[in-house]
Every structure is written in C-alpha cells, then in structure tokens.
Chains A and B, each alone.
Chain A
C-alpha cells in the first residue's frame, strides 16, 4: 500500500521546523551566555609555600594567619612549642575564626562556636572539627600541605 498524500501537511512541517529551529537557535545562544556568566571555578590550593622565618619564631600559644587560596589559614604554636597549621574557617557557615590564647581555644564570633586547640568542635553550632594541614619545612620554606596530598619538597 502506498500513501498517496503525506500525513504531515506542508504547513505543520514548516511550523515544526520553524519552532524547532527557533528553540535550538535560542537555547544555543542562551547556553553560551550562561556558560560565560558562570564563573570558572578555581579549586582550593593543594599546598602553599611560605617563608619559614616569618612563621617559626612566633611566640608560643599564638597564631599567625596566612592566605590559603581565598580563605584564611592559621599557623598555630602551642604552649609546648608544637606547631600546627589549619584552615581558619568555621565549619558552620564559613566565618573566620579567632584564637583565644587565654582559653587555648578557637572562637567563631558569628554564632558563638568554639573549637579546642586540636580543632575539635566543643560548643555551639559548628557540626565538624576544623581542617588541619600537614607542615613540611625545607630550607627557607614552610610548606603547608592539604592532608593526603603528596608533594616533593625538593622540587619547590
């Protein structure tokens, strides 16, 4: 059996073509615009390199801040002289924290969150402990490394 006339009229064909073409055209254009508007995401750094002489001599029981990408990192020297590095951002809603030397605790002023000097969340809303980093000292450099990342200090 042969269908003598097409089931689709010329008019519907043209309308579908027109509509589809418009849709494709504008969604394509819009897609590129949105892609432009959406930022290219920069990752948090895996490590940062600092001058050791700026940080190692700080007084015991104090902190010094450094830039960890766009966020703040804290270099902590405990009373016994042990050194640590951690991300100075509250795990609750990302406010920057301060170190309170009298209490030996970290404090977040946004919603009154407290962490002890091992980064454990002990009071207030923060749901998780603070993130600590590894420290590598090579020659002049103090290298702060994200936990679980392997780097070769000789290459820096």
Chain B
C-alpha cells in the first residue's frame, strides 16, 4: 500500500492525474438497439494486437529465402515448443480479423455511420481493409508452398491487367517480371515492416477520429431519447468480456484446425490442381470468371479488372456520393447499394467456395 501511494505521489507531482480521470469519466457512449455492431471494431482491434504479438514471435524463426522459407516454417511447426500452435494462432487470428473486419465495414455501411462529419473515418477504415487483405496475401505467400506460389502469380498477374499502371504495379509487387525469390523478400518486407507501420498509423487515426466525433448514431435513433453509458468502465468491461470470448474462439480453432503446409514451391513445377485463393479473394476470382476471354475485341480480363476497380473506388468514396445521408435525410438508394454490395460479396464468396 505504501508503495502504491508513493508511486501515486510521484506521478501526481509530475502529471495532472485528475485531468485524465475527468477525461475518462467524461467519455460517454450512447446506448441504443444497434450498439452491438459497435463492438465489432473493438474485436478487430483486439485481433490486430494479437496478430502483432504472434507475428513478432514467428518472425524470430522465419527465414525469408527461397531455400529456407518453407523449411523454416516446418521447423517452427515440428520442432519448436508449441510452434504449431502459434503458427496456427497467427493463421486463424488473420482469418477471423478479416472476417470481422468485413462485418464491421458492412455494418458501418448499412447504418450509414460514414455520413457527415465522419467521412474520414470511413476512408481510413477502407484503407485498413485494403491493407488487411494485402497482409493476408503477403502472409500466405511467405509459406512458399505450391498453392501460395500459384495464387500470388495469379493475383499479381491480375493486377497487371489494369491499363496503364498495371504493368508498373505488377513489376513492383513481384520485384521483377516473374514471381521469384525477389518477390518473397519483397512480400516479407511488406508483411513485417511496411504494412504494420502503416496499419498502426491508420488505426491511431481511425480511433482518434472516432473519439473526436464521438460515437455515431444511426439516423433512425437520432431523434429518440436514449441513455448514455460511460465508456470507462461499463463499455470497457463489456469489450473485455467479448475479447476474452474471441480469444477463446481463436485458440480453439487454432488447436482443432491447424492449417496444412503444402509442398515447397517450385517455379518450374506444374501448377497444383484446383487452386483457389483465400476466401476473401473468392468474390474477385468469381467475378473474373464471369467474363469471357475476349469481349468486343478487348481482353475480357482487362474489362473485368477495370469494372472491379470502379466498384471498389465507388465503395471507397460512398460518403461523398450519398448526399442525402449527409444532410440527415433518409437515403433508401444507398441502403440498397450497401445491401447490393453485401449480397454480392456473400453470394460470390459462397459460389466460389463450392465451385
């Protein structure tokens, strides 16, 4: 007890603790019937933190070189103490993070949380979604097995179909004209250094903006009376409980379903049968399949990629197109568009999964 008091004194002499306390006490969160969706953001944050920790642990042993990448992972899985578990945890953490991230984004879309003045929150969130997907692709590639190799060849080749900048992007991602060891080092650099830094920056931005504007309210709830719950400790404790359960789920998945490791990648070997991208790419993959090889004399793939790019760009800029919501009016058109995006994503993913 004496120790604690002394420590408190030491702090109080230097910092204005009361200011923090009043700040913490003043943070209120509106309670309403959609509030459950607001917890998805917290879950994603928790999973990201977990990815940082498990990732740092794996980075102690992983070797980003064509000769050793695959072997070092097998080493991690078979020789290290609980190595299989931490790799599996990193894998399932990533899967779940992206899944919950999609839920988070779609709930924000349908509740129109992006409307004025919160446009920049939406933008930063979309960037985080894109980065997470790139995280997934680069992490998958680090395994350096047949499937990862073929998948990355197809994915980066697809980017190459974009007109004008496509070739540039493709070469930049691959670190040359082909997917080789250069690509492995590059993706490693992205996965463990560049993307994490950008992610931290964007998460801080995102959280700061959410705090600055306060929690958004769905339009339908705006005119109703509703209570306000203090963030500390009520919401924080609720978050904590959810995080614990999520942790339990991830750990269970990691234990029961450790992801497999395929044969080491060989640039000269034929592609394995039936390659499928990770599930969050399936909707893209399925979309590309809809287009024939050539359309009106143009490369069908190029047309598909252009259309997809426009779709993504529109999604990204939705807050600026949805003028009605910004004015605080009802905007059924954009509810429809949001639903269409969601249904398209889900249906295409399912078709891709079972085809």
Contact = CB atoms under 8 A, between A and B. Distances in A.
Interface string A125-136: 111000000000
A98 to B, nearest CB: 4
Contacts of B289: 111
A42 B176 CA distance: 7
B299 A127 contact: yes
Which one of A41, A69, A94 has the greatest number of beta carbons of chain B within 10 Å? A94
A92 B273 CA distance: 16
Interface stretch (B74-82, B151-159, B230-238, B336-344): B151-159
Contacts of B270: 88, 96-98, 109
Contact of B178 (A70, A90, A97, A110): A70
Interface in A110-129: 110-111, 125-127
Nearest to B172: A38
B165 interface: no
B136 interface: no
B214 interface: no
A127 B301 CA distance: 10
Contact of B272 (A43, A66, A70, A109): A109
Please classify how large the interface on chain B is, using the bins under 10, 10 to 19, 20 to 34, 35 or more: 20 to 34
B176 A95 contact: no
Contacts of B182: 39
A95 B177 contact: no
A94 B153 contact: yes
Interface string B292-307: 0110000111000000
A42 B177 contact: yes
14 contacts: A41-B177, A42-B176, A66-B268, A70-B177, A70-B267, A71-B178, A72-B267, A72-B268, A93-B158, A94-B153, A109-B271, A109-B273, A109-B275, A110-B275
A108 B271 CA distance: 7
Contacts of A43: 177
B190 to A, nearest CB: 11
Contacts of B166: none
B180 interface: yes
A103 interface: no
A71 B294 contact: no
Interface in A81-111: 88, 90, 92-98, 108-111
Given A70-B178, A70-B180, A127-B293, A96 B172 contact: no
Interface residues of A, number: 30
A44 interface: yes
Q: For the complex, would chain A's binding face be called helix, strand, loop or mixed by DSSP majority?
A: loop
Contacts of B177: 41-44, 69-70
Contacts of B293: 92, 125-127
A67 interface: yes
A65 interface: yes
B148 to A, nearest CB: 13
B299 A110 contact: no
Interface string B237-274: 00000000000000000000000000000011111111
A94 B175 CA distance: 16
B171 interface: yes
B150 interface: yes
Contact of B294 (A65, A69, A127): A127
B154 A110 contact: yes
A70 B269 contact: no
Given A70-B178, A70-B180, 8 more contacts: A66-B268, A71-B267, A93-B157, A93-B158, A96-B150, A110-B150, A110-B271, A127-B294
B175 A39 contact: yes
Interface in A55-72: 65-67, 69-72
Contacts of B174: 39
Contact of B150 (A41, A95, A126): A95
B176 A39 contact: yes
B269 to A, nearest CB: 6
B265 to A, nearest CB: 11
A88 B293 CA distance: 20
A96 B275 contact: no
A83 to B, nearest CB: 19
A93 B175 CA distance: 18
B171 A95 contact: no
